[in-house]
Every structure is written in structure tokens, then in C-alpha cells.
Amino acid sequence: MITINNLTKKFGRKRVLNNVSLEIPSGKIVAIAGPNGSGKTTLIKSILGLVKFHTGTVLINDVNISEDISYRNLIGYMPQIAKYPENLTVNEIISLIYKIRRPSVNSSLTDLIAKFNIGGYLDFQLKNLSGGTRQKVSAILSFMVDSQILILDEPTTGLDPVSSAKLKELIREYKLLGKTVIIISHIMSEVSEIADEIIYILDGDILIHKNIEVFIKENNSSNLEAAINFAVSNN
């Protein structure tokens, strides 16, 4: 479980996160959405420890992340842009993460490689891979670790439909194992398809944090996009 209390982050004079408090329970798929510059990436980066926040606390399973880096053993992260040292081979980048996370690497690495169909690329240097194949490598790096929390930033960007479907299947499997999945996405149809809850951030404040089905019904809308549009317009 992730608990965020009164989180504030400023860049210069601009407040990017405004006293944000929320709880993300285990065993849920939670989508974070919002316009560009709304603070969603900063919120995720605060959880990942990439950003030093000014006030507030982030607790993961009741452990304050500012005091201990061992919580990162619980997290798998798939960045939006898969850009790694370009002269390393796919095998080498996997083995680097393997060495760092050895105790928590799960046994499904071979299955993941087969699932994303990159067995033939293992000896290729990363610079010689297409954007989509790099994204698949990125997915493998995040799913190969047996983490309690998975954070995916625009995970299906650049993926072909088959790989995208496989990734969504994996995300659902993770949920069934009682793990927490956080997804940043701009594609609302995708969010409704796989997520249980939506967090909508606007100008550093959490405007919406609800179960998706309930939220759509409450706003008498046919889909999530229309419901968000309605809620934002009436705010």
C-alpha cells in the first residue's frame, strides 16, 4: 500500500504538487491522468525517489521512503522513453538489472522473453533496435523483478497491437497476484479497459480519485473520457 500525506513540490516558484494526500491500496490497478504539466509525472517520480519533495511523506508498506532506499526492492518501473546505453546488448542490459535485483528476480524471465518475442534480439546492441523492440525490452526489465508495486509510464507507446495486448494481460495477472499497478496514460479507452481506479490531477491538485465504473455512472457518461470532461468542466 502506498500512502501519501500532504506532499508539496515546487520547481522554482511554481508549485507542481499542492499538498497532495492519497492512498493507493494493494491489488488494484490505478491510472494517473491529467493534462501536460499537471504534476502526474512529478507525483510518480516522488514515489520513485527521483524527486526530492519539499513537505509531506510517502510511505510504502508503512516505510517512509525518505529514510530508506530498500523500498525500491518492492518497485518495478517502466519509463516512458526506453533509452539505455546504446552499445550494450539486450542480454547485457537484462543481466545488469539481474545483478542489481538478483534476490527478487522472478523465474519467468525466459517466459517474458518468449512472450514479447525478443529471443532473436538478445545479442543485438540496443542502438540497432526499433523503438517498439526497445519498449519491449523496457517491459521485460520492469516485469522480470518480483515487485509488489509496478509503475508504468505510458507503457503501450510504440508497441504493436499484439505486444500491447500481451502487456495488458501481464498487468491483469499482476493484479490477481495482489500487487499494485500504477499506470500513467493519456489513452482513456486503455485506462478504462485495464484500471480499477482513476486519479486525475489538475494544476498539482487531485481533482478526481474514484473507482472508474462508479465515476462514469456518477457523471451520467458513456465513457471515461466524457466523464472526465464533464467533471472538469463543472469544477
Partner 1 sequence: MIKNIITYQLKDLLRSKWILFYGAFFYLITEILLQFSGNESKSVIGILNMCLILVPVISIIYGSIYVYNSREFIELMLTQPIKRFSLYVGLYFGLAIPMALMFVLGVGIPLVIFNPSMFFLYFYLLISGTLITFSYIGIAFLISFLLDDKAKGIGACFLFWMLTAIFYDGLIMFLIWKFEEYPLEVPIIISAILNPIDSARVMVMLKLDIAALLGYTGAVFEKFFGTAMGLVISISSLLFYIITSFYLGLKVFLRKDF
The footprint of partner 1 (CB under 8 A) covers: 11, 45, 48-52, 69-70, 72-73, 75, 77, 79, 81-88, 92, 96-97, 99-101, 125, 141, 151
Q: Smallest gap, in angstroms, from Cβ of residue 19 to partner 1? A: 18
Q: In this complex, which beta carbon is closest to partner 1, that of residue 30 or of residue 65?
A: 65
* DSSP string for residues in 143-183: HSB--SEEEEESTTTT--HHHHHHHHHHHHHHHHTT-EEEE
Q: In this complex, which beta carbon is closest to partner 1, that of residue 29 or of residue 78?
A: 78
Q: Is 89 exposed, middle or buried (0-12, 13-18, 19+ CB in 10 A)?
A: middle
Q: Smallest gap, in angstroms, from Cβ of residue 25 to partner 1? A: 21
CB 78 within 8 A of CB 151: yes
Q: Smallest gap, in angstroms, from Cβ of residue 51 to partner 1? A: 5
C-alpha cell at 110: 525466459
Q: In this complex, which beta carbon is closest to partner 1, that of residue 16 or of residue 33?
A: 16
Q: In this complex, which beta carbon is closest to partner 1, that of residue 76 or of residue 219?
A: 76
CA pair distance 65, 122, nearest whole angstrom: 35
Q: Smallest gap, in angstroms, from Cβ of residue 179 to partner 1? A: 16
CA pair distance 235, 152, nearest whole angstrom: 28
Helices (H), the chain: 40-48, 90-100, 109-115, 131-143, 161-176, 188-194, 212-218, 224-233
C-alpha cell at 9: 513540490
Type of residue at 127: K
Q: Smallest gap, in angstroms, from Cβ of residue 65 to partner 1? A: 12
Q: In this complex, which beta carbon is closest to partner 1, that of residue 129 or of residue 151?
A: 151
H or E, element range at 56: strand 55-60
Q: Smallest gap, in angstroms, from Cβ of residue 38 to partner 1? A: 17
Q: In this complex, which beta carbon is closest to partner 1, that of residue 82 or of residue 90?
A: 82
CB 227 within 8 A of CB 221: yes
C-alpha cell at 1: 500500500
Q: Smallest gap, in angstroms, from Cβ of residue 227 to partner 1? A: 32
Q: In this complex, which beta carbon is closest to partner 1, that of residue 103 or of residue 161?
A: 103
